[in-house]
Structure 1
Amino acid sequence: MAPRSQLEIQTSSVTRLVKEEASYHRELEQQTQRIKKLEAGGGDDENREYIIKQEHLALEETKKVLPNLKQKIIEAVKKLEALIAEEGQKGAESNVQHITAAKEAIAQAKTAEREIS
């Protein structure tokens, strides 16, 4: 089996980062819902305040990850675009299938960026 090209590796990286960011946003939404449910629950559970505090801490940690992750996606997309340009200059020997996959990964990243911003 031939080793993977830099284009394939970088395409996989962009795809993985986009999926990771989507996962963090789902986690953020779930944490927010859990906090709302706990705060609305009422009751005299002695651990309730502690659990709410811990959920808020987890929510803040998740929020802190997102800007750094967004920056990683931007950098990975730039690197992938540069690799696509290099492959385009090689001409006929470049693999059209990998270039198409790379362009799709970039489109997904930019779509995700617009949805999140």
Structure 2
Amino acid sequence: MAPPSKLAVATGSVTRLVKEETSYHKELVQQEERIKKLEASEGDENKEYTLRQEKQALQETQNVFPTVRTRIEQAVERLEGELNSKDADGNAEEIKKAEDAIAAGKKVIAEAS
């Protein structure tokens, strides 16, 4: 089996980073829901500690977004370079996947702005 082309590797990188960004958004929503549930709960002697821990985890998740977005921007640039290079010897299916990955990456970047 032939090794994957540079185009396929770059496409996979963008796709993975977009999925990573999506999973962090899901985690953020779950953390916010846990915090709301904790704030509404009564009679828990560890409520303050647990709430503080959950808020810290929420902040850490929020701090990840700028780094992930920067990595997505860099990966999209590399993929565009691969797609526009003379060496883009990929078949039509690989090129289509690359274009879709670029569109998804740019959408994430635009939503962040």
The equivalent residue for 1:16 is: 16
- 2:110 corresponds, among 88, 93, 114, to 114
Structure 1 stretches of 4+ with a deviation exceeding 4 A read none
Is contact 2:5–2:90 with CA below 8 Å preserved after alignment?
Answer: no
Q: Residues 73 and 109 of structure 2 are in contact (CA less than 8 Å); yes or no, is this contact kept in structure 1? A: no
- Residue 39 of structure 2 corresponds to 39
Q: Which amino acid in 1 is paired with 2:19?
A: K
Instruction: Give the gaps of 5 or more residues in structure 2.
Output: none
Tell me, in whole angstroms, the C-alpha distance in 1 between the residues paired with 2:45 and 2:87.
Answer: 67
CA distance in structure 1 between the aligned counterparts of 2:14 and 2:53, rounded to whole angstroms: 32
Cα deviation, 1:10-61, whole Å, max 9, x if unaligned, reads 10000000000000011011101110111112x2211111110100010011
Per the TM alignment, residue 90 of structure 1 is displaced from its structure 2 partner at its CA by: 4.9
User: How far did 1:111 drift?
Assistant: 1.8
Give the whole-Å Cα distance in 2 for the aligned partners of 1:77 and 1:90: 17
The 2-side partners of 1:55 and 1:24 are apart by 15
Match of 1:79 in 2: 78
What runs of 5+ residues in structure 1 fail to find an aligned partner?
Answer: none
Tell me the CA shift for residue 94 of structure 1. 4.2
Residue 4 of structure 2 is matched in structure 1 by: 4
Give the Å deviation of 1:95. 2.0
Secondary structure of residue in 1 paired with 2:73: helix
Which one has a larger percent helix, Structure 1 or Structure 2?
1
**Aligned-partner Cα distance in 2 for 1:58–1:90:** 44
Q: CA RMSD in A?
A: 1.5
Q: TM-score, normalised by structure 2?
A: 0.92
Give the count of matched residue pairs. Answer: 113
Question: Which residue is equivalent to 1:103?
Answer: 99
CA–CA separation in structure 1 for the residues paired with 2:100 and 2:112: 18
